[in-house]
Chain A
Amino acid sequence: MKVTLLLLLLTAPLIAQQPNNNDPIGRYLVPPELVMSESERIGLTDKQRAAIKSEVQRTQAKFIDVQWDLQEATGKMTTLLQQTPIDEAKVLELADRIMALEREMKRAQLTLMVRIKNVLTAEQIAKLSVLQRGLHQ
């Protein structure tokens, strides 16, 4: 019972980010954290590790940068939405700004996932799929 609970606790973050089978894009991508946490099991080479580490760090820097602006814009939006009546023009203008920032974040996220998948061999991707399926069951 304790072991099951512990396993559930340990795998919960990974399960949370598993792509849903109905997700047309996510199902073909591999979560970066899964690749890193299972690096030994899938036999990542040192070159692959270094490439993945560098990509994750580069994306994180980009994320932090954009997230600052996104938080600021979201905060402004929250303030606007609390007013009565709501200034529609201002809200939509801010929404455009927020969605532009979200686009940047999504682009960085997708770039990372594509690059990580491109670093992996077909065999490693297959192993990760098996591991992902195992986490789902």
Chain B
Amino acid sequence: MTDDLKERFDELRDEERRRVPPFTIRRRAARLSYRWVFALLLVVLLVVIRPHRTTFSEADLAAARSIGTWHPPTDVLLKGTIR
């Protein structure tokens, strides 16, 4: 009777063991994903904090040109261009 019960329990345990999901693999996968997240964060940080060169766009040049070449409309009064 005791042996029979023990045998049944062993069977049950075996069956449970078979059904138990592979925890170690999952943990490894989780560790891997942490690594990926860390790597991604590192890349993002590097992109954000790396010294980026300021450049002058065409719009900046056009703005500078228009400011530099602007002449007041009433300049014509002193230049003697009214004929």
CB-based contact A56/B60 at 8 Å: yes
Complex CA distance for A30 and B22, rounded to whole angstroms: 73
Cross-interface CB contact of A74 among B63, B65, B73, cutoff 8 Å: B73
Distance to closest chain A CB from B16 (angstroms)? 65
Complex CA distance for A83 and B41, rounded to whole angstroms: 70
B65 / chain A contacts, CB cutoff of 8 Å: 13, 17, 33
Interface residue B67 (Cβ < 8 Å from any Cβ of A): yes
Q: Which chain B residue has the least Cβ–Cβ distance from A113? A: B68
Distance to closest chain B CB from A79 (angstroms)? 14
Residue total for B at the interface (Cβ-Cβ under 8 A): 18
Distance to closest chain A CB from B66 (angstroms)? 7
CB-based contact A50/B66 at 8 Å: no
A-B pair number, CB within 8 angstroms: 68
Cross-interface CB contact of B63 among A17, A57, A95, cutoff 8 Å: A57
Cross-interface CB contact of B64 among A32, A70, A74, A102, cutoff 8 Å: A32
CB-based contact B67/A102 at 8 Å: no
Contact with A along B2-31 (1 / 0, CB 8 A): 000000000000000000000000000000
> Chain B at the A interface: mostly helix, strand, loop or mixed?
loop
Distance to closest chain A CB from B54 (angstroms)? 4
Cross-interface CB contact of A56 among B53, B63, B70, cutoff 8 Å: B63
Complex CA distance for A39 and B69, rounded to whole angstroms: 19
Q: Contact residues of B with A, CB < 8 Å?
A: 51, 53-56, 60-61, 63-70, 72-74
Distance to closest chain A CB from B61 (angstroms)? 6
B72 / chain A contacts, CB cutoff of 8 Å: 99, 102, 105-106
Complex CA distance for A52 and B69, rounded to whole angstroms: 17
- 7 CB contacts below 8 A, A to B, read A17-B68, A32-B67, A60-B63, A60-B66, A63-B70, A98-B73, A106-B72
A50 / chain B contacts, CB cutoff of 8 Å: 54
Complex CA distance for A102 and B72, rounded to whole angstroms: 6
Cross-interface CB contact of B74 among A35, A36, A59, A102, cutoff 8 Å: A102
